[in-house]
Amino acid sequence: MARKKYTAALIGCGRIGYSLGLDKKREQPASHTMALKNNSRVKIIAGCDTDQTKLIHWHDANKKAIVYPDSATLYSRTKTDIVTIAVNENAHMREAIDAIRSKPRLIILEKPVALNLREAERIKEEADEYQVNILINHERRFAEDFIAAKKYMSRIGEIQSIRAELCSSLCVYNRAEEKTGAYSLIHDGTHLVDAVLFFLEEDGIPSEVKKVPVEKENKGLLKRAENCNEEIRTEIRTVNTLLNNPVMTGVFRDENGNVRQMSAHYSTEKCPDVSIVISGRSRFFGFEIDITGTEGRICIGNGFLKFYKREKSRLYSGFYSLQSDRRRKSPRKTLYFANMVQNAVDFLDGKKPLRSTLQTGINALAVLEEIKEKLK
């Protein structure tokens, strides 16, 4: 018996929505369009983009789909099972809420959830009210290499340290770009933080967020006046229950005061030493995570995965060293985008839960927002 096909609409036909699927160096599928098309259970029936040129290029490759100049027109004329949102960060909240109100069975929302926690919480309120499920495209939760690394963690003993590092030329934090999200802390840092949370999660149970009172730093006359009155100014913040209150080191600012380098350090019950390091001074792009245990080590990043285990040393008598575990091989393909769409299909079939949810996306955003507050 033929299995049901799910219809899909794409909001945003730009880079992650479409054109990365044409990059011959990338593992394919590498865009939402290609990942949806490559799944036999999904049929793209509509797409939209406010950029007419991008829309024309997309339609040339998807002639059977109907195209619209904006999402409002699409929703008024087309009903789909899946709505995929692949627009810039500053449009996530608006497009997500509009999509939620159109009541699809599932929304696939490109990372990060939103520009900030306030916007992310607005999305959650709407999703809860309309009872619409949202999958966040934090791709490493779907990647075969990251899944293999997480499984191997049980073989390396107690976890001693996790160091996650992101290097690029994009500014780490620029206050002037808060309305666009054009800085690496949120643009790529969301992947780094979510991957760390993924490795720290126990038995698939994600971390949570909670609201806590935080003493507000006051400066100048206001601070002196409040000290005289013996008053303490506090504000309520949302923080991650697993990674919070970081110790910040290595903060480097350029001549304009923008943050170009930083390290955030945490201690958790599972791992006493967690470091999130981001540089915007590098003339290369790097994404890697090292996990060191008492009996082994895992090194993973874009394009590599290495497993190490404790064995009798070849160099020193009476000692043990870490040797490459040759029995463990890196998956030939990570299938990060293909697995994401398959997870969406399995969820709609009622077979599996979503691997990356709106809540896990908010959990990562809470970590990023607390780091940002420390950098201001």
Q: Is 48 helix (H, G, I), strand (E, B) or coil?
A: strand
For residue 64, give every residue at least 6 positions away whose Cβ sits within 8 Å of its Cβ, in sequence order, or none: 45
Q: Is 295 helix (H, G, I), strand (E, B) or coil?
A: coil
pLDDT in the model for residue 221: 44
Degrees, nearest 5: CA angle 5-9-17: 115
pLDDT in the model for residue 214: 74
Cβ atoms of 289 and 163 within 8 Å: the answer is yes
pLDDT in the model for residue 225: 47
Structure tokens at 178: 């808060």
What is the 3-class SS of 319-354, one letter each residue?
A: CEEEEECCCCCCCCCCCHHHHHHHHHHHHHCCCCCC
Structure tokens at 51: 């950029």
Q: Is 230 helix (H, G, I), strand (E, B) or coil?
A: coil
Provide the CA 132 distance to its chain's centre, in angstroms: 20
Strand order in the sheet with 133-137: 66-68, 42-48, 6-11, 82-85, 106-110, 133-137
In angstroms, the CA 102 to CA 92 distance is 15
Structure tokens at 14: 């730009």
Rg (CA), the chain: 22
pLDDT in the model for residue 124: 98
Per-residue pLDDT of the chain (376 residues; tens, 9 = 90+): 568 899 999 999 999 999 999 999 999 999 999 999 999 999 999 999 999 999 999 999 999 999 999 999 999 999 999 999 999 999 999 999 999 999 999 999 999 999 999 999 999 999 999 999 999 999 999 999 999 999 999 999 999 999 999 999 999 999 999 999 999 999 999 999 999 999 999 877 888 899 888 766 554 444 444 554 545 567 788 999 999 999 999 999 999 999 999 999 999 999 999 999 999 999 999 999 999 999 999 999 999 999 999 999 999 999 999 999 999 989 999 999 999 999 999 999 999 999 999 999 999 999 999 999 999 9
Residue type, 311: E
Q: Is 57 helix (H, G, I), strand (E, B) or coil?
A: helix
Structure tokens at 369: 């927002």
Check residue 55 and report its DSSP letter: H
Give 133's strand partners. Answer: 106
Q: Which of 364, 368, 375, 370 is nearest to 181 (CA)?
A: 368
* 256 membership: H or E segment, kind and range: none
